[in-house]
Chains A and B, each alone.
Chain A
Amino acid sequence: MSANADSVERLLAANGDVESVARRLEQIGDAFPRRIDADPEKVERGLAQLVLTLVELLRQLMERQALRRMEQGTLDDEQIERLGLTFMRLAERMEELKVEFGLRDSDLNLNLGPLGDLL
């Protein structure tokens, strides 16, 4: 794809401690106000949608990276167990946040904003 796709993966790898990144991602949900707002016009929901989409993207990237390392045999049993628990927790947290914000999987797609106005 492009250099920046590589950059994200390098960033994730460099961070080494997937768990701390995952912990930060889990905490992102705490930054949002607690009331559920079903009105799609509201800014908070739009912001939540954007942030959760990015979180979901990162989660998937991190998990896939870890799975590839597991496939190659470069993770030990303890690491696999710890990473697995981390990703499970993160996935559960994502589900909770989606429910809280009334977002479905289909909402977590970035509308192609940056190029949308070109057409």
Chain B
Amino acid sequence: MIRVYAFVHEAARVPEIAGVDGAPIEQHGRGVSAVVSRHERAAAGDPRHEAVAHGLVVEALASVNDAVLPVRFGETFADNQALDAILRDRDDEIRATLARVCGCVELGVRVAGAVPQRAAAAAESGTGYMEARLALLAERDTVVHGLHDELRALARDAVQSERGGFEGAYLVERPRIEAAYEVVQRFTAAHRELTIVCTGPWAPYSFGGTRA
């Protein structure tokens, strides 16, 4: 069984880090290649540990290479032929994506969905309550969109979604990452009523181009 962690260029550096189940990682393929580990059998341990191990390999790769395309956890192949087939079929696409993310890292921003429970709770009617809450939500939206717009302007690409809260991912060229942090810090300082969580730099998980 072959596990795939990420795609890289042939000349990529492979760091000294073990993969899932402590298996060594290696590069497979010419031109565009996959970083893999090989296993006799399915892992018997805690899937959460495996997911973390997978992520640590991806991050280690991104720390020593300019272009890394993370693969989702759990992708496995029975043998080299199966893997080679994928590498052949998707060669153009992977190349193009590697070029798009080259030199960039991913910055993640989440803003909590909750709006603080303030005096709105003391409204005189159900409608009054909803209007007050909606006003607070709209205020929050304005700030969040402002933050997103500023970060997007600094980034090569950006994706966003709203699920329980705002979630944004920004593909930022390495030299601009400090400027991006400053934007987030400025917004955080100016809006103590919001919970803003900024993480990164990450390998570009959100910019792989292909979605399930």
Physical interaction between A and B:
yes
In the bound complex, residues from chain B placing their C-beta under 8 Å from that of A85 are 125-126, 129
Q: Are A9 and B163 in contact (CB under 8 A)?
A: yes
Q: Cβ of B52 < 8 Å from any Cβ of A?
A: yes
Q: Identify which of residues 109-129 in chain B touch chain A, using a CB-to-CB cut-off of 8 Å.
A: 113-115, 117, 121, 123, 125-129
Q: Are A64 and B113 in contact (CB under 8 A)?
A: yes
Q: Cβ of A80 < 8 Å from any Cβ of B?
A: yes
Known contacts A5-B164, A60-B114, A61-B164, A88 near B123 by CB under 8 Å: yes
Q: Cβ of A66 < 8 Å from any Cβ of B?
A: yes
Q: Cβ of A77 < 8 Å from any Cβ of B?
A: yes
Contact of B133 among A61, A63, A115 (CB under 8 A): A63
B194 to chain A, nearest CB (A): 14
Q: Are B113 and A60 in contact (CB under 8 A)?
A: yes
In the bound complex, residues from chain A placing their C-beta under 8 Å from that of B60 are none
Q: Are B130 and A91 in contact (CB under 8 A)?
A: no
**In the complex, residue of chain B having the shortest beta-carbon distance to the beta carbon of A66:** B130
Contact of B48 among A60, A80, A83, A118 (CB under 8 A): A118
Interface of A is mostly: helix
Q: Cβ of B137 < 8 Å from any Cβ of A?
A: yes
Q: Are B133 and A81 in contact (CB under 8 A)?
A: no
In the bound complex, residues from chain A placing their C-beta under 8 Å from that of B125 are 81, 84-85
B108 to chain A, nearest CB (A): 11
In the bound complex, residues from chain B placing their C-beta under 8 Å from that of A9 are 163-164
Q: Cβ of A49 < 8 Å from any Cβ of B?
A: no
Q: Cβ of B49 < 8 Å from any Cβ of A?
A: yes
**In the complex, residue of chain B having the shortest beta-carbon distance to the beta carbon of A63:** B133
Q: Identify which of residues 90-119 in chain B touch chain A, using a CB-to-CB cut-off of 8 Å.
A: 113-115, 117
Number of interface residues of B (CB under 8 A): 23
Q: Are B114 and A82 in contact (CB under 8 A)?
A: no
Q: Cβ of A30 < 8 Å from any Cβ of B?
A: no
Q: Are B137 and A81 in contact (CB under 8 A)?
A: no
In the bound complex, residues from chain A placing their C-beta under 8 Å from that of B179 are none
Q: How far is B89's CA from A27's CA once the two chains are assembled, in angstroms?
A: 57
Contact of A84 among B52, B127, B167 (CB under 8 A): B127
Q: Cβ of B134 < 8 Å from any Cβ of A?
A: yes
Show 23 residue pairs from A and B whose CB-CB distance is below 8 angstroms, ordered by the A residue.
A1-B161, A8-B164, A9-B163, A60-B113, A64-B137, A67-B133, A70-B130, A70-B134, A71-B137, A77-B127, A80-B126, A82-B126, A84-B123, A84-B125, A84-B126, A84-B127, A87-B130, A88-B121, A88-B123, A91-B121, A95-B121, A115-B48, A118-B48
Q: Which residues of A contact B (CB under 8 A)?
A: 1, 5-6, 8-9, 60-61, 63-64, 66-67, 70-71, 77, 80-88, 91-92, 95, 114-115, 118
